[in-house]
Amino acid sequence: MVEKLKEGYRTEKYNHINANKALAANKKRGSKLELKLQGILDELNIKYIRQYPVGKLLADFYIYNNKIIEVDGDRWHKSIYMIDRIPLAEILKAQKYDKEQDEYYQSKGYQVLHIWGHELRNLEYVKSKILNFISIH
């Protein structure tokens, strides 16, 4: 069933019901990027909670000491690396949304680290970035 939902979600002609079901299934098991980061956290023996509720939002990963790690897909979050494929206005809109999300987390007392999809190609860099983040107060 999940495979069918994924197919429905990936096709250009999908209805919102199938898309919503696909997104819900994805949240339960995690995106490819989230699963990759989960593997890194496991390898580093870092305790975490996936899909941690913070008020109106769901953080990708909660780490002890009020730290949140968000995994940002380059296309979904409109990385500047996608500028040749996504209009600048869309990139700026996504950046504004992500900034508002970060401000919300911070207003609740959380620190936020973003890991971009393209960064997950360099595992040593991501490990270092995470270890530096969790060692800060």
Crossing angle of helices 16-29 and 2-10, rounded to 10°: 120
Domain regions of the chain by residue span: 1-29, 31-135
Summarize the confidence of residues 26-51 as an average pLDDT.
86
Residue 69 and residue 30 in contact, taking contact as beta carbons nearer than 8 Å: no
pLDDT at 14: 36
Q: Say whether pLDDT at 26 is over 80.
A: no
What's the pLDDT tens digit per position in 75-128? 544 445 555 666 677 677 777 888 899 999 999 999 999 998 889 999 999 999
Residue 67 and residue 134 in contact, taking contact as beta carbons nearer than 8 Å: yes
pLDDT at 8: 35
To the question of pTM greater than 0.95 for the whole model, the response is no
- Which tokens sit at 64? 């002890």
For 31-135, CATH number? Answer: 3.40.960.10
pLDDT at 74: 60
Rounded to whole angstroms, how far apart are CA atoms 80 and 28? 28
